[in-house]
Structure 1
Amino acid sequence: MGGFASKNRFPVDGRTVVITGGSQGMGRSVARLLATKGANVLIVARGIPNLEETVEGLSKVAIRPSQRFHYISADLTSPTEAARVLSEATRWNSNQPPDIVWCCAGIAVPGLFIETEIDTHRDQMDSNYFSSAYIAHSTLRNWLSLPFSTSKAKEPRHLIFTSSVIAFYPLIGYSPYTPSKSALRALSDTLSQELQLYSKGDSVKVHTIFPATIFSAAHERENLTKPAITKKLEESDGGQTPDEVAIASVRGLERGEEMVTTSGLLGYAMKVGMLGASKRNGWGVVDTIASWIVSVVLMVVRRDMDGTVRKWGLENGSQVGQKT
């Protein structure tokens, strides 16, 4: 959608990619997919065993022996750790900055707002928003302070955030999580415009990926705290495997999309219904017309979902937050 030409706008062969949260789930699938496309990949996460296992697996799917893989153990909720990661990644990459930085790190802890401890709300912002904001800050300071000629390939560098379709549509039970993912979308939109300040702005592209449900170990942990009403409203969400999300994400990036949804028509509809001043694909005609249609549909959908929530509350009373 959007009328792009067939040119690949996200070439990775021979380029160096840093992936945060790259030792499991979507991050690991992205790392493996890019390795099969010829990228040199450095993954970042906390747990060393998972990091080691993932790096070993990347070597097995590489398309040539010269590809390089590495890991850094770090807690990216610390701004000093983010700066260290970028510095170490640059040294590992023959003292050249990485060409692509993809922020996949994050976690969801669903729950009703007043039943969730305030520390959990803060942790969600740290894990999902600030971990990405810190690495983005260090990355852009590095990229924009150096001449573009330092890049080994004459292609734009890419900074990629991972948000969620929940940033487009409110859903009961995600109040600890949604603000952090909405903040990422807002940061990405702002940076997209802010980069126009710089003469080399066209050499740095900012993107955001918006997956829906991802079937992974993290999703199983989410269900432990997820309210029953949330599970009911999500019954029609088919979900995707981490590999499916990775493939859809990369395809969108290769088309040149700034905002990439991975869950087919439903994800696209949720996106265009909340575009606002965000960039449209191509000339934006298709996205704009679709947004008019979806905005009408969403009025009906929201009314129906609100009615389901009210009915649930009346029927379950004090059990409204009880897990199943």
Structure 2
Amino acid sequence: MDLGLQDKIVLVTGGSKGIGRAIAKSFRDEGANVVITARGKEELDETAHQLGAFAIAADLTRPEERADVIRQVVEKFGTIDILVNNVGGSNGGAIVDTDVRLFEIAMDVNLYPAIDLSKQVVSLMKNKGTGSIINISSIYGREAGGKPTYNAAKAALISFTKALANEVIPFGIRVNGIAPGAILHSTGNWQKRMEKNPDKIKQFVESEIPAGRFGTVEEIAHVVVFLASEKASWVVGATLNVDGGQSRSNF
């Protein structure tokens, strides 16, 4: 299916590995011009070389570096058609054992870059009357599971997605989200857990994922490129579970 993404300008945060890398590759496969950003310059540059993408090393927890990323993309390509807010991470443990500062850090990593970058690209997209923003959250933004710091930040991201979507759809800008379940890839936490305790992880998959396996990064990426395309023109403010049936929520 031709998704009509040829020559679109796409910015993917956290694009050097895992889900972000797969998203960037899927957009490149559709003929888009892709910019990836992450903190680790060496890995970022290697990924950009492999994919034929443009790399900008940046720490997106810093407002000045977020602004500089947008500036560099606009200087090189003139605009941004699609923003994928994928950068994120988790920390801490049980709430009573976790310092409040770790909750703040979780917001700094998972929420505030998405808010700030979205606000900046909206001003560009309004001028064109079109654009797409995709936020990568988690099924644990909707239900218990995982680390509370991460859950809180991802829940806020889902709420932000809906609120911004309603504000900007009159200008032709669509904002949506993806809530992945357990995704296995070589640099992810599930891979580390599997290597540490394969029997426990096998039992988790059998009991918690109705599809009977982990998801792949490509399965997330395929949904992202669809949502970003005009084939999903009537999808506004949604955060779609992509989880093999893992989520226990009804929405």
Check whether TM > 0.5. yes
- What does residue 240 of structure 2 align with? 260
Report which stretch shifted further, 129-138 or 240-249: 240-249
Return the TM-score normalized by structure 2. 0.84
The answer on 1:157 being equivalent to 2:131 is yes
- Using the alignment, how far apart are the partners of 2:204 and 2:190 within structure 1? 17
Query: Structure 1: 5+ residue runs without aligned partners?
Result: 1-6, 60-68, 149-155, 225-229, 275-324
Q: 2:147 aligns with which of 160, 171, 174?
A: 174
SS at match of 1:177: helix
| 1:247 Cα deviation from its structure 2 partner | 2.0
1:73-222 aligned at under 5 Å gives the runs 73-93=57-77, 96-109=78-91, 111-144=93-126, 146-148=127-129, 156-171=130-145, 173-196=146-169, 198=170, 201-202=171-172, 204-216=173-185, 217-220=187-190
Aligned 8 A contact 1:252 1:260 in 2: no
SS at match of 1:176: helix
SS at match of 2:88: coil
| 1:82 Cα deviation from its structure 2 partner | 1.4
- Using the alignment, how far apart are the partners of 2:116 and 2:6 within structure 1? 27
Query: Structure 2: 5+ residue runs without aligned partners?
Result: 195-199
- Using the alignment, how far apart are the partners of 2:92 and 2:220 within structure 1? 21
Letter in 2 for 1:159: I
Aligned 8 A contact 2:88 2:109 in 1: yes
Q: What does the per-residue CA deviation read over 1:151-195, in whole Å, with 9 as the maximum and x for residues that have no partner?
A: xxxxx3111111111122122x52111110011111111011112
SS at match of 2:96: helix
- Using the alignment, how far apart are the partners of 2:42 and 2:30 within structure 1? 25
Q: What does the per-residue CA deviation read over 1:20-49, in whole Å, with 9 as the maximum and x for residues that have no partner?
A: 000011000011111111111110111111
- Using the alignment, how far apart are the partners of 1:113 and 1:223 within structure 2? 21
Q: 1:71 aligns with which of 49, 55, 60?
A: 55
Letter in 2 for 1:262: V
1:231-250 aligned at under 5 Å gives the runs 235-237=207-209, 238-250=213-225
SS at match of 1:191: helix
Letter in 2 for 1:45: A
1:302-313 aligned at under 5 Å gives the runs none
| 1:222 Cα deviation from its structure 2 partner | 7.6
- What does residue 36 of structure 1 align with? 29
Letter in 2 for 1:29: A
| 1:261 Cα deviation from its structure 2 partner | 2.2
| 1:86 Cα deviation from its structure 2 partner | 0.8
- Using the alignment, how far apart are the partners of 2:99 and 2:4 within structure 1? 44
- Using the alignment, how far apart are the partners of 1:222 and 1:191 within structure 2? 35
- Using the alignment, how far apart are the partners of 1:17 and 1:54 within structure 2? 15
- What does residue 52 of structure 1 align with? 45
1:279-298 aligned at under 5 Å gives the runs none
| Cα RMSD (Å) | 2.6
Aligned 8 A contact 1:17 1:41 in 2: yes
SS at match of 2:208: coil
| 1:110 Cα deviation from its structure 2 partner | 5.4
Q: In 2 relative to 1, CA 164–157 (structure 1 residues): closer, same or farther, beyond 3 Å?
A: same
- Using the alignment, how far apart are the partners of 2:144 and 2:14 within structure 1? 25
Aligned 8 A contact 1:107 1:218 in 2: no
Q: How many equivalent pairs are there?
A: 235
Q: Report % sequence identity.
A: 24
Q: 1:26 aligns with which of 19, 28, 33?
A: 19
- Using the alignment, how far apart are the partners of 2:91 and 2:188 within structure 1? 10
